[in-house]
Amino acid sequence: MATFADIGVAAGINILFAVAFLVAFAILRLQPINDRVYFPKWYLKGLRSSPMHSGSFVSKFVNLDWRSYVRFLNWVPDALRMPEPELIDHAGLDSAVYLRIYLLGLKIFIPIALLSWAILVPVNWTNNTLAKSEATDKLQFSDIDKLSISNVPYGSLRFWTHIVMAYAFTFWTCYTLIKEYATTAAMRLHFLASERSRPDQFTVLVRNVPPDPDESVSESVEHFFLVNHPDHYLTQQVVINANKLAKLVKEKKSKQNWLDYYQLKYSRNQSKRPVTKTGFLGLWGEKVDAIDYQAAEIERLSKEIAEERERLKSDPKYIMPAAFVSFRSRWGAAVCAQTQQTRNPTLWLTEWAPEPRDVYWDNLAIPYVSLTIRRLVAAVAFFFLTFFFMIPVTIVQSLANIEGIERRAPFLKPIIEISFIKSVIQGFLPGIALKIFLIVLPTILMMMSKFEGFLSISALERRSALRYYIFNFVNVFLVSVIAGTAFQQLDSFLHQSANEIPKTIGVAIPMKATFFITYVMVDGWAGVAGEILRLKPLIIFHLKNFFLVKTEKDREEAMDPGSIGFNTGEPQIQLYFLLGLVYAVVTPVFLPFILVFFALAYVVFRHQIINVYNQEYESAAAFWPDVHGRIISALVFSQLVLMGLMSTKGAAQSTPFLIALPVLTIWFHRFCKGRYEPAFIRYPLQEAMMKDTLERAREPNLNLKSYLRYAYIHPVFKNDEDGEHDDDISEKLDETVLVPTKRQSRKNTPAPSMLSGASSPSLPDVAENPQGLKP
Amino acid sequence: MATFADIGVAAGINILFAVAFLVAFAILRLQPINDRVYFPKWYLKGLRSSPMHSGSFVSKFVNLDWRSYVRFLNWVPDALRMPEPELIDHAGLDSAVYLRIYLLGLKIFIPIALLSWAILVPVNWTNNTLAKSEATDKLQFSDIDKLSISNVPYGSLRFWTHIVMAYAFTFWTCYTLIKEYATTAAMRLHFLASERSRPDQFTVLVRNVPPDPDESVSESVEHFFLVNHPDHYLTQQVVINANKLAKLVKEKKSKQNWLDYYQLKYSRNQSKRPVTKTGFLGLWGEKVDAIDYQAAEIERLSKEIAEERERLKSDPKYIMPAAFVSFRSRWGAAVCAQTQQTRNPTLWLTEWAPEPRDVYWDNLAIPYVSLTIRRLVAAVAFFFLTFFFMIPVTIVQSLANIEGIERRAPFLKPIIEISFIKSVIQGFLPGIALKIFLIVLPTILMMMSKFEGFLSISALERRSALRYYIFNFVNVFLVSVIAGTAFQQLDSFLHQSANEIPKTIGVAIPMKATFFITYVMVDGWAGVAGEILRLKPLIIFHLKNFFLVKTEKDREEAMDPGSIGFNTGEPQIQLYFLLGLVYAVVTPVFLPFILVFFALAYVVFRHQIINVYNQEYESAAAFWPDVHGRIISALVFSQLVLMGLMSTKGAAQSTPFLIALPVLTIWFHRFCKGRYEPAFIRYPLQEAMMKDTLERAREPNLNLKSYLRYAYIHPVFKNDEDGEHDDDISEKLDETVLVPTKRQSRKNTPAPSMLSGASSPSLPDVAENPQGLKP
């Protein structure tokens, strides 16, 4: 058991790390050479130009102005200064609402911390249970335990304080949650209403268009909607399966980068032409002249791309049974998205079209039956991933021991046998397999979501976030609380009775407080401080800058602003909500550590969102119901655990009082769901009608058809490397249009999604190419 | 343990009962005097006139034609002869689909019974486990157990037969279920499409209209829909709170009945004027002249009714914040019913209007917050009702003993002390409290559903059916399988581990086979045969006929056709599905008994639906998703129980094979839900548009507005005892109409619901007044 001193030392080390990161950041960000790493958002917005153009040679790279170093913590007030409406305008609603999750943490836990320190800490402290058992049983207890519920004697009446506090905390959490839900819903509706017209407001995604022997998909869609929505139908765009083309274009792009790299290398050192190997990653195969090889490859790919384009134009097989159908008014689109079209509810499926950037093109053509099977497979796979992932990790660990390496690679033997290296390898190897697994886990989860067939990147991220949270709950929280792997726990829970399980967890909770305090400091404090330093993008930017960049455009492409990463970030926050709620009653000492995390993370991420991240899509805070639901489930879990703990503390008579809590909390959740969730799923007709009327009055001559014409085109047709609109494809899409007004359409279409069209989940590669944002 | 002989005796007794009921029915139905008891449906349809008008005096009451007695079983082929489309036309889709539940039972269990007798019975029979243990342990086993899974030795490889059979049965059940779901969905859509226009196709029920200081509810509704559905809105009818008026009218009706009775009595025996007491049920209070008293009461009520009518006309407080909004087209109504209207999803709630007869008027004005609280209260109340109902019953039982009665009513002592009577009372009293509780249980559940705030009678019955099924499952099935009250079981389940519970139930299942066979014979065979005899309506009809009937119209009112009673009937069938599925693998001997039940019940209820029952509403088979879901849950339960049983039989290695079954079954359920459930909830726009277009072509001059004008009027305004339309109220509703064409509207409006407007759940009283059906 850790004492205050131990915790103090751990806190000191972690604070040191955090401060070191922050200081490093404060210095690095002032250097002009790093400007594009720490302020890419402003470059992308066109509001900041490179500071490297002016001043002396040295001051192009290093900041020599000592005054700016004095104000090195200025970024904190800067980050906090921007008001929320401006932030929404600057970075989008998703980012602004994402920050509100941290704020919500502060709102929930500041009053809870004050109350529990004012009431629970004195109540716990003024007992001597632990002191007694220390005297009699020679058990060691720390000061932290003396402040926790463990110090209250068995069967004491003082437990009523804890029960009353559990009610108070639940009430306060629910109150804050409902206020926040209302605010977010209002913000979302206001955001949707106050925006200029967006194509997704008029457009519905139609899937599972049944095949028709006499008509093409395009004709079939057109006829169906002309018949069934006669007064509202405007136009439609069929979905062309350009996944292969997108892959080829991406490949060509990468080869081009390599060519640039070799050319630059050659130009710097003319003595030797660079060589490469033709095999995987240039590691194996025949040695060839690199420049010639890459140039030949590019030529080959250009030809293939041209052929693929030809095929797309001529072959009807490339047209998927899906279409984006646009309506004359938001009212018409809202109606179509919310209703069932035909007797068979698995055909002509309509739903709101995601924002064009947000569309995940690969999944648009999955039929209904296949979708349900994919869901089942993904669910079963996730179950095994969560409970049995230790099996492959253990196998890898057992293979990757010293002897195994020596057997497979005998030439390494002399090096490995050096005792220092041997001990390092023996110490690190087992952990590495696990660490690698944990690093690729979000990618695996994202692939599962893609396999499941979601249609927008935001939906993919939401589903991945849910799975990541469950994985963390089982494999980080439960495994830390109760020893043993997840599978052993599943097995023991199956063999325990329903009222035993909360007791098992409840008893273990107070004992693990110090462990989780350390966890919060390492993962929360130092981790968040590390986030602001952006070490990886910093290194990659400078490498690219050195090896690839020739023009200003290249430099722009070398920036990697990244994005919030909802699928990994949100589950992390949720783990802190869980810890905070579970320990609020049990070990109030825990709460200040959580508060520091929320405050620090709020400032850091606000800074990052303002200066760095560039969101790939805008879902208008569609994730809030998930956030709300997970906090509620953490609350219910904390209540059940408290119930289990109480019943082992001789306060079993309190069970009826405590059992009402989860019932009321779940009821509260259902109420919130009914009251606020529709704002995140549906689009009320009144709003649509108001906006339609307003717009008709304001812009009576808006040519909606031309505006919507090319809104939903696979990004590969827009984002061509030659910068030209692909006229052939447009012609194909145009079949029925008399006056194609392409220029007009081009100006208004939002930037294409960076992810869509990419078949592999390797974000950084794709994100290298954000020039679409400033056409 | 019962032997074949025991079962044979029980079967003999029950068959005797069943045959006696059927013979009694066959004879009674031929008597002209009973004609209105056994063929009321035909009278209500106006297709049968009283046979008592013609022939000799005796033949008016007794059938003297011996040939008809020879053909006394003719009703069976008669009942089966009517083809399904004609049945739908005759009795409605609800009734026709209800019969298909029995057919579904036959479809599922005939092949299962054949297969299990062909394979499982030989596999079980050719072991000698029970014979051995009989020899060693002196345990007695019956022949039935020798045919069951109990006879297979511990750890035998023969259990693989049972596992394969479990897969085969699951597959067959699912196949039958999905076929049936598809058929029912198609029948429903065909029914909705082929019908003549019904008001509910054009009408949407709007609730929670927000109060407006400047406008009345009617104006507010009109303006809202004129703005937000400008091309489709046609007209609206506000809901008037006429519950008090309905109660007064009902009271007057009852007094009128008493007055008729006393007048008839007086006219038969002029020597003495009848007297009555003024207190409760005429049991207490002052003695008065009955005829004068009732006449005065009627006068008082007439005055009160007139006053109430006056108030309804003038007081805006009687207008509820709800309205029936009608649209120009089915398309418009379908759109409005399926979409959200405003930002706040708890205001302007729209949903399909139930059929006018189906509306439950009392609940139309419950606000959203109150609704969610009511749901919570009802759920908690139902939990306590299910698990703790034995507590009040036991209290009543302990009070209602001989000594208690003697103490409270000493004057009864001499009678009670007679030893024969004493033993009878002692034997019956404890059972009576329980029996009375079980008889009133459906009424209690119906009251709970009403409290919960459902808006249509069909929804009330569906919810009551769900609750009744759960109650039966816990208190009939589980309590019979495992000894102890429901609460003791809940307690023991809470203290058992998740993998212990299926074992506990699984082990007990084979031992209870004979008990459930007897249960099926008593409740299923004899009970269903008793249903066709209609003893209670027979007696009540003759009593009324003797005491009240003066005119032909009175005689019509004395008929009580009753209805299917979905809320009690369907849970009973579901219990048989559960038993059949649970015992299919374990004790195949059970299946023939189930089959007899399904076949007998199918014939009997088909006869009743054709000749007797008069459905109060038509929900177009909206209950099918519930039926489907409960069979699926029974299937999953049977799989879990089999898994538990197997693991105690030394076949634990089979668990992985069996665990896949519930997973696949639940996935199958989700697939069916996605594929077919929307047909029962939504109205596809394509269908609406087709029907609209057809109708416009066929009846271009249909005056829809006048047709819909009075479709949704509280029945008390239509069903006046003076047979006149209430002009004042119509005027009030008419505010905006220029040409009220009342006659027209009257002819088309379906008969009013018999239940709606009645605040107490006493069906027979209200159903006495079906003259609305033939205006």
State the DSSP string of B250-290. Answer: HHHHHHHHHHHHHHHHHHH-TTS--EEESSGGGSSS-EEEH
**More confidently predicted of A224 and A546:** A224
Mean pLDDT in residue range B161-177:
93
* Structural domain includes residue B332: no
- Strands B319-327, B203-207: pairing kind: antiparallel
Mean pLDDT in residue range B255-276:
77
Confidence of residue A1 (pLDDT cuts 50, 70, 90): very low
Rounded distance between C-alpha atoms, residue A627 and residue B429, angstroms: 57
Measured between alpha carbons, how far apart are the two ends of chain B, in Å? 61
What order do you get walking across the sheet with B349-352 strand by strand? B233-240, B319-327, B203-207, B349-352
Range B344-366 burial, b when 16+ CB lie within 10 A, else e: bbbbbbbebbbbbbbbbbbbbbb
Answer whether residue A579 shows pLDDT above 90.
yes
Answer whether residue A361 shows pLDDT above 60.
yes
CB contact under 8 A, A340 and B338: yes
* Structural domain includes residue B234: no
Q: Kindly state the percentage of chain B with pLDDT values over 90.
A: 16
Find out whether A674 and B346 touch, Cβ atoms under 8 Å: yes
CB contact under 8 A, B500 and A496: no
What pLDDT shows up at residue B141? 59
Q: Output the CA angle B464-B466-B467, nearest 5 degrees.
A: 65
CB contact under 8 A, A345 and B684: yes
Rounded distance between C-alpha atoms, residue B502 and residue B515, angstroms: 20
Answer whether residue A410 shows pLDDT above 60.
yes
- Secondary-structure breakdown of chain B: helix, strand, coil percentages, each rounded to the nearest 5: 70, 5, 25
* Structural domain includes residue A110: yes
Question: Taking all residues of chain B, what is their mean pLDDT, rounded to a whole number?
Answer: 78
CB contact under 8 A, A689 and B663: no
B96 CA: distance to closest CA in chain A (Å):
21
Overall domain count for chain A: 1
Domain residues for A630? Answer: 4-196+369-681
Rounded distance between C-alpha atoms, residue B291 and residue B293, angstroms: 5
How many CB atoms are closer than 10 A to CB B154?
10
Question: Taking all residues of chain A, what is their mean pLDDT, rounded to a whole number?
Answer: 78
Interface test with A, best of B339, B452, B491, B692 (most A CBs within 10 A): B339
10 Å CB burial of residue A337 (0-12, 13-18, 19+) is buried
CB contact under 8 A, A494 and B498: yes
* Structural domain includes residue A14: yes
For A682-726, how does the pLDDT look when each residue is reduced to its tens digit (9 = 90+)? 888 887 888 888 887 877 777 777 777 777 877 777 654 444 444
Query: What 3 state SS string does A488-553 have?
Result: HHHHHHHCCECCCHHHHHHHHHHHCHHHHHHHHHHHHHHHHHHHHHCHHHHHHHHHHHHHCCCCHH
> Of A131-135, B118-122, B177-181, B702-706, which range is least confident?
A131-135
B328 CA: distance to closest CA in chain A (Å):
14
How many CB atoms are closer than 10 A to CB A626?
18
Angle between helices B566-586 and B93-115 (to 10 degrees): 10
* Structural domain includes residue B62: yes
Answer whether residue A676 shows pLDDT above 70.
yes
What is the pTM (predicted TM-score) of this model?
Answer: 0.82
Q: Which residue in A has a C-alpha nearest to residue B665's C-alpha?
A: A376
How many CB atoms are closer than 10 A to CB A599?
15
B287 contact partners, CB below 8 Å, separation of at least 6? B275, B276, B277
Token pair in block for residue B390: 């034995």
Confidence of residue A17 (pLDDT cuts 50, 70, 90): confident
Confidence of residue A595 (pLDDT cuts 50, 70, 90): very high
How many CB atoms are closer than 10 A to CB A441?
19
Rounded distance between C-alpha atoms, residue A752 and residue A763, angstroms: 15
Q: Give the nearest partner residue to B685 out of A340, A376, A667, using CB atoms.
A: A340
For B519-567, how does the pLDDT look when each residue is reduced to its tens digit (9 = 90+)? 888 888 888 888 888 778 788 888 877 777 766 667 777 777 778 888 8
Token pair in block for residue A227: 């018949």
Mean pLDDT in residue range A350-370:
82
Rounded distance between C-alpha atoms, residue A41 and residue A47, angstroms: 9
What pLDDT shows up at residue B628? 95
- ipTM, 2 decimals? 0.77
For A620-651, how does the pLDDT look when each residue is reduced to its tens digit (9 = 90+)? 888 999 999 999 999 999 999 998 888 888 77
For B686-743, how does the pLDDT look when each residue is reduced to its tens digit (9 = 90+)? 888 888 888 888 777 777 777 777 778 777 776 544 444 444 454 444 444 333 333 3
**More confidently predicted of B551 and B345:** B345
Find out whether A641 and A649 touch, Cβ atoms under 8 Å: no
Residues of A whose CB is below 8 A from B679: 343, 345
What pLDDT shows up at residue A744? 36
For A418-459, how does the pLDDT look when each residue is reduced to its tens digit (9 = 90+)? 777 777 666 666 667 777 888 889 999 999 999 998 888 889
**More confidently predicted of A566 and B548:** A566
Q: Kindly state the percentage of chain B with pLDDT values over 70.
A: 81
**More confidently predicted of B243 and B674:** B674
Q: Which residue in A has a C-alpha nearest to residue B688's C-alpha?
A: A228
Residue A265, amino acid: K
Instruction: List, as ranges, residues 138-167 from A with C-beta within 8 Å of B.
Output: none
Token pair in block for residue A40: 């890419």
Residues of A whose CB is below 8 A from B334: 339
What pLDDT shows up at residue A84? 87
A491 CA: distance to closest CA in chain B (Å):
10
A338 CA: distance to closest CA in chain B (Å):
6
A582 contact partners, CB below 8 Å, separation of at least 6? A509, A634, A637, A638, A641
Find out whether A710 and A743 touch, Cβ atoms under 8 Å: no
> Of A388-402, A409-423, B306-320, B723-737, which range is least confident?
B723-737
For A507-535, how does the pLDDT look when each residue is reduced to its tens digit (9 = 90+)? 888 888 888 888 888 888 888 888 888 77
Answer whether residue B111 shows pLDDT above 90.
yes
* Structural domain includes residue B707: no
Token pair in block for residue B141: 């086993």
For A466-476, how does the pLDDT look when each residue is reduced to its tens digit (9 = 90+)? 999 999 898 88
> Of B52-61, B81-90, B411-420, B639-648, which range is least confident?
B52-61
Find out whether A583 and A645 touch, Cβ atoms under 8 Å: no
User: Tokens 């949704």 sit at which residue?
Assistant: B712
What pLDDT shows up at residue B291? 79
Instruction: List, as ranges, residues 230-249 from A with C-beta within 8 Å of B.
Output: 231
**Nearest to A240, CA basis, from A769, A712, A705, A759:** A712
For A120-129, how does the pLDDT look when each residue is reduced to its tens digit (9 = 90+)? 888 888 877 7
Token pair in block for residue B280: 């409760």
Rounded distance between C-alpha atoms, residue B430 and residue B513, angstroms: 27
Rounded distance between C-alpha atoms, residue A672 and residue A689, angstroms: 26
* Cross-strand pairs, A324: A205, A237
Answer whether residue A416 shows pLDDT above 80.
no
What pLDDT shows up at residue A378? 93
Q: Give the nearest partner residue to B339 out of A185, A186, A339, using CB atoms.
A: A339
For B354-372, how does the pLDDT look when each residue is reduced to its tens digit (9 = 90+)? 888 888 888 887 777 888 8
A482 CA: distance to closest CA in chain B (Å):
18
What pLDDT shows up at residue A631? 95
Residues of A whose CB is below 8 A from B498: 493-498
